[in-house]
Chain A
Amino acid sequence: MELTGAEILVRCLKEEGVEYLFGYPGGAVLHIYDALYKQEDVKHILVRHEQAATHAADGYARATGQPGVVLVTSGPGATNAVTGIATAYMDSIPMVVITGQVPTHLIGNDAFQECDSIGITRPIVKHNFLVKDVKDLAETIKKAFYVASSGRPGPVVVDVPKDVTAQSFEFSYPKKITMRSYSPVTKGHVGQIKKAVELILSAKKPMVYTGGGVILGNGCQQLREFTQHLGYPITNTLMGLGAYPSTDKQFVGMLGMHGTYEANMAMHHCDVLIAIGARFDDRVTGNLEKFCPDAKIVHIDVDPASIAKTVQVDVPIVGEVADVLESLIKHINESEAKVDTPALEKWWQQIDVWRAQDCLKYDTESALIKPQHAIKRVYEITNGEAYVTSDVGQHQMWAAQYYKFDEPRRWINSGGLGTMGFGLPAAIGVQLAHPDKTVVCVTGESSIQMCIQELATCMQYGLPIKILNLNNGFMGMVRQWQEFFYDKRYSQSVMNVLPDFVALAESYGHVGIRVEKPEDLDAALADAFNKYKDRLVFLDVVTDPDENVYPMVPAGAGLNEMVLV
């Protein structure tokens, strides 16, 4: 049967099993919106700004593992989506972004709402496509989903000119697609795996360091098995939290700039480092010249370009994390060599000494609300089971440090690009994906204002997100750096001209609660999570404006040179 391009597009989304389409209409996508109007399979979520559409789709993808899907119009629709696309790209999140484009005969004419979306997005996508002919449309959409979700995932943009959505063509959706120029590696090389096993079992001071790749590659079960079988200490990156249970005794906390003392010291002193689905980011390594000076390194990653990008490694293994870990476990079981238990016991004793520093302790007697305490209480009232999104800054670090994630895909934040404004729209995607789960957006008074218009979207779809606004009247992380490194010259980081957040939330139809004293916190949290369970609650929590994120590895320092308080 012949369908119009717009109908074909919507049918493709249905074939892909797309549940939600996050978008905003406009001239170039009117045919598509008309096709959406005539069906009920794909539910459209109308955001209030295209940036939020991409973040919501991104949040959906992170929480489910399924690609998030976005539809925006040409020109400003596409440019507004750029921040969200770049955010997803930096964290390798599978996403398909359909951008409208002016009709093919107008491309290049500086037409109304025209921009070179392909050119603008090229450096921030895994791949992008311009569809010039309706006969290529279905296959291109299939390719887009395939590329976005295979190998190292990432966002894919499909630019669709308006005339292509009007033309008709016979619809058939390819069941499978192969691309001669794209075939990601899946299985690890057996020779490398054997070498890795030898090295792993020879360790006296081993360390397992894992990143977001373990979650993206659905390798968390295998990681747990691998780590518990060996009894080795494990740290997760900011992106990798939840891949391994944070409450397990082998977990030594997050590593990196605001990681725990024990994680960073163990990294620095280990003799064998097993890096899995992690990319040796500068916030993780600190000064590269001082990074893991004594370690032989095994690096497992699905992306060959991630290996030896910043740190040279001894045993690289390219492959899907889950598959490689299974293979490692099998070879470890078959190996004649065994874990050096006495050495490992000694190593744990050393780690326990570092642990005893209790680097995450904070003042519990303060007359002001400590942000760490607020996170801790949210952790407790949600039994550690909430999906937590965050914005970017101090509150993000505190959430990462004090909310103990035991399951993957629960901690959703913009780690790579560090996009303020991510938290609330991401929470929209997460809550839609898991309507019966508790979703908390940990934010600050500065970040939340970057996408606060999405409170309307939350109202439209009845999303009972709990917003924890840690309000210290500063762009806290900027202030912290200015305090440490710019002699307290707080240049433009003061954020004390603020809306009445309670009234603002109420004006959108939500519940607003302001908390100013430590003794009122628990009652407010009880109201938010119990009494107003089915409503969006905006908790405006006034916190200690002088609190800083500790511990900290200063810029240029090695991981062993961290500042405790």
Chain B
Amino acid sequence: MQHIVSILIENESGALSRVAGLFSARGYNIESLTVAPTDDSSLSRMTLVTSGTDEIVEQILKQLNKLVDVVKLVDLTESAHIEREMMLIKVEAVGESRAEVKRLADIFRGNIIDVTDTTYTVELTGPGERLDAFLQSLSSISIHEVVRSGAMGISRGEKVLGL
């Protein structure tokens, strides 16, 4: 099963490689990883998507917690949460496909953020499945480039991952 792990980690050089190194050293799977400083510039917030059996995920959480730089973490998948990912996608937009891409972008509530005579660049935000669905809907369109941010997540309600 897929798990979304949110991590508060000291914003120090090398912190990211400690996390990445842990996963490669122990043979764990990273499906995506996003990281950026928070409002407190001494902390980074990392969202890591991984998968495995319950036993493996339990070990992953324990091993992450054991890293001296990790301040706190939570497995968002354990309770109600919001997941968002951003995608930038550059597609061919000529003839009939030009209108089709515009229409699909509207349906998926994407924005066309760059235009040339032959291409559109669409920005789309949402849970991973929605981005997948959008990509699928473009099956008859020629895709030039896809950039995805990887998932970010936050708990629903009043639950907070903070100091």
Contact = CB atoms under 8 A, between A and B. Distances in A.
Given A122-B17, A181-B69, A305 B62 contact: yes
Interface residues of A, number: 19
B18 interface: yes
B34 interface: no
Contact of A180 (B58, B63, B71): B71
A309 B59 contact: yes
Most A C-beta atoms less than 10 A away, residue of B17, B18, B62, B63 = B62
Contacts of A179: 68
A305 B63 contact: yes
A118 interface: yes
A269 to B, nearest CB: 26
Contacts of B10: 181
B59 A122 contact: no
B163 interface: yes
Given A123-B25, A304-B62, A305-B66, A181 B14 contact: no
Contacts of B25: 123
Nearest to B22: A123
Contact of A308 (B18, B55, B69): B55
Contacts of B51: none
B66 A303 contact: yes
B17 A305 contact: no
B37 interface: no
B21 interface: yes
Interface string B60-88: 00110110111100000000000000000
Interface in B86-124: none
A30 interface: no
Nearest to A303: B66
A interface SS class: mixed
Nearest to A124: B25
A122 B18 contact: yes
Nearest to A119: B17
Contact of A182 (B9, B17, B68): B68
A147 B68 contact: yes
Contacts of A309: 59
A499 B78 CA distance: 63
A180 B163 contact: yes
A305 B59 contact: yes
Contacts of B62: 304-305, 307
A204 interface: no
Contact of B58 (A123, A181, A308): A308
B55 A312 contact: yes
A126 interface: yes
B133 to A, nearest CB: 38
A127 interface: yes
Nearest to B58: A308
A123 B70 contact: no
A435 B59 CA distance: 43
A130 interface: yes
Contact of B14 (A122, A123, A305, A307): A122
A305 B14 CA distance: 22
A126 B67 CA distance: 8
B16 to A, nearest CB: 11
A149 to B, nearest CB: 13
A147 B66 CA distance: 12
Contacts of A181: 9-10, 68-71
Contacts of A123: 21, 25
Interface string B1-20: 00000000110011001100
A10 to B, nearest CB: 25
B92 to A, nearest CB: 42
Interface in B107-154: none
A119 B25 CA distance: 13
Most B C-beta atoms less than 10 A away, residue of A127, A179, A181, A308 = A181
A118 B10 CA distance: 16
Nearest to B60: A305
Contacts of A180: 71, 163
A492 to B, nearest CB: 29
Interface in B15-36: 17-18, 21, 25
Contact of A126 (B59, B63, B68): B68
Given A118-B14, A127-B68, A180-B163, 5 more contacts: A130-B13, A179-B68, A304-B62, A305-B59, A305-B66
Interface of B: 9-10, 13-14, 17-18, 21, 25, 55, 58-59, 62-63, 65-66, 68-71, 163
Interface of A: 118-119, 122-123, 126-127, 130, 147, 179-182, 303-305, 307-309, 312
8 nearest A-B residue pairs (beta carbon): A305-B62, A127-B68, A181-B71, A182-B68, A123-B25, A305-B66, A304-B62, A305-B63
